[in-house]
Amino acid sequence: MVNEYKKIVLLKGLEHINDYYFNVVKSLLAHDLGLTTKMQDEYNRIKIAHLMEEKFQGAACVNKLIELLKDIPEFKGLSKKPRKEKQKVFLFSPTPKNTFSYKKLNNFQKKKKTAKENTATKRIKVFQEHVQPSCPAGASTSETTGCPLLPQISSSKPRLKAVPKEASREEGFQRGPKEVMVLKATEPFAYAVSKGERKMFHATVATESQFFQVKVFDISLKEKFIPKKVIAISDYVGCNGYLEVCNALSVSDVNADQKMEVSKSLIANANATPKISHLYLQAPGTFRMNVVFLLQKTVRNQLIYYEIKDNTGKIEVRMYGRLTQINCEEGDKLKLICFELALSENKWQLRSVIHSFIKVGTSGGTSSF
């Protein structure tokens, strides 16, 4: 049965998308499938289908592909093919647990709907008995319930929305446009030099109700990412908690007179530093650390390890590649962006990844990013 689902993923899905969007799919699956940059470059459709079969058992591998394709406008129609094939496998499979027919499934859904309607009717009856036990003469009544129509009460004060404490996430290709206010941005930095120098910068942006972490891979856009400026972002990809912008045409100016009201509390949350004690309670992922102090620096097996602390605890940071050349000393103040939280030998550790950024300041210096 698993082979049938794999066949759907490969023949009805991956084989029908072009090379560019196949690379997009591999990038979005990199975290789930454990794909390194080299593996993303080398693995073909057959290998990716094989890994999806192993990682997402049974119909889950088809569901994962559908989830990715439905977010790409060019392939919305294509995402229906794997879904239809999956339903065929499920409804007409000879295995004992899948032998019920579509007719039985439909009957079950009808019974479920009827039960819900009966429950709703009972709730209305109980409500009427407690709130309006009798119908006064001359009162306006409802044709369906025979009880007075209750006046609709409108609240003059809108309900306050909770201000998010974490950056919002989006997954897959997003057409947009999304209008956002720029809160801050790093300076451009080189993150890869093996195939010619490639540069990027990190940014934080917000709408009136959410904030987002952004990776920008075209440094000509730095002039648009000016704090408090409102811009529109289109044709970007949501991946591992970041919005990834690769093309200069994906960012445009909006009307100069247009304002966006972003609350001070939301801005404060976007700028806030996750405490080290908070990291110990989180699932593995990428985090931004702001204003931590370097306690100790050691070298082991050509890797550099930092022990950092804040006012809640300590954690080890592992540096590799270009970040081993960063010049910092014990007592310096550090800002870490896009580091991976992972478990190593039964203890939590922050690890640098290809897009990690670090800024060093002296212990007496002021914070700026």
Whether residue 129 has pLDDT greater than 80: no
Question: Of residues 163 and 4, which shows the higher confidence score?
Answer: 163
Domain match, 229 and 292 both:
no
Q: Are 26 and 35 in contact (CB under 8 A)?
A: yes
Percent of the chain clearing pLDDT 90 (strictly above): 24
Query: Per the domain annotation, does 104 fall within a domain?
Result: no
Domain match, 229 and 283 both:
no
Domain match, 245 and 289 both:
no
Whether residue 81 has pLDDT greater than 50: yes
What pLDDT, on the 0 to 100 scale, is given for residue 40? 86
Domain end residue (candidates: 73, 96, 119): 96
Query: Per the domain annotation, does 19 fall within a domain?
Result: yes
Considering its fold, how many domains does the chain have in total? Answer: 3
Domain match, 250 and 297 both:
no
What pLDDT, on the 0 to 100 scale, is given for residue 369? 40
Q: What is the helix (H) or strand (E) element at residue 39, kind and residue range?
A: helix 37-42
Query: Per the domain annotation, does 302 fall within a domain?
Result: yes
Tens of pLDDT, residue by residue over 38-57, are 888 888 888 888 888 888 87
Domain match, 192 and 258 both:
yes
**Position 144 confidence tier, pLDDT thresholds 50, 70, 90:** very low
**Position 357 confidence tier, pLDDT thresholds 50, 70, 90:** very high
Range of the domain at 179: 172-264
Q: Mean of the pLDDT values across residues 249-271?
A: 90
- How far, in Å, CA of 202 to CA of 337, rounded? 8
Whether residue 125 has pLDDT greater than 90: no
Question: Of residues 369 and 321, which shows the higher confidence score?
Answer: 321
Domain end residue (candidates: 219, 241, 264): 264
Q: What is the DSSP letter of 275?
A: P
Measured in Å, how far apart are the chain's first and last C-alpha atoms? Answer: 53
Strand partners, 351: 318, 340
Query: Per the domain annotation, does 73 fall within a domain?
Result: yes
Measured in degrees and rounded to the nearest 5, phi and psi for residue 235 equal 50, 55
The SS3 assignment for 134 reads coil
Strand partners, 345: none
The SS3 assignment for 261 reads coil
**Position 123 confidence tier, pLDDT thresholds 50, 70, 90:** low
Q: Mean of the pLDDT values across residues 240-262?
A: 90
What pLDDT, on the 0 to 100 scale, is given for residue 118? 60
Side chain identity at residue 107, one-letter code:
N
What pLDDT, on the 0 to 100 scale, is given for residue 168? 92
DSSP 322-343: GGGG----TT-EEEEEEEEEEE
| Sign of the CA dihedral with 311 first, then 307, 292, and 332 last | positive
What pLDDT, on the 0 to 100 scale, is given for residue 193? 73
Domain end residue (candidates: 96, 129, 148): 96
The SS3 assignment for 245 reads strand
The SS3 assignment for 114 reads helix
The helices-and-strands tally (H runs, E runs) of the chain is: 9, 14
Structure-token pair, residue 99: 């032998």
Tens of pLDDT, residue by residue over 200-231, are 999 999 999 999 999 999 999 999 999 999 99
- We report the CATH number of the domain holding residue 218 as 2.40.50.140
Query: Per the domain annotation, does 6 fall within a domain?
Result: yes
The SS3 assignment for 149 reads coil
- Longest Cα–Cα distance in the chain: 89
Going from the C-alpha of 206 to that of each of 166, 221, 290, 315, 369, the distances in angstroms are 12, 17, 18, 29, 16
Q: Mean of the pLDDT values across residues 165-184?
A: 92
- How far, in Å, CA of 3 to CA of 14, rounded? 15
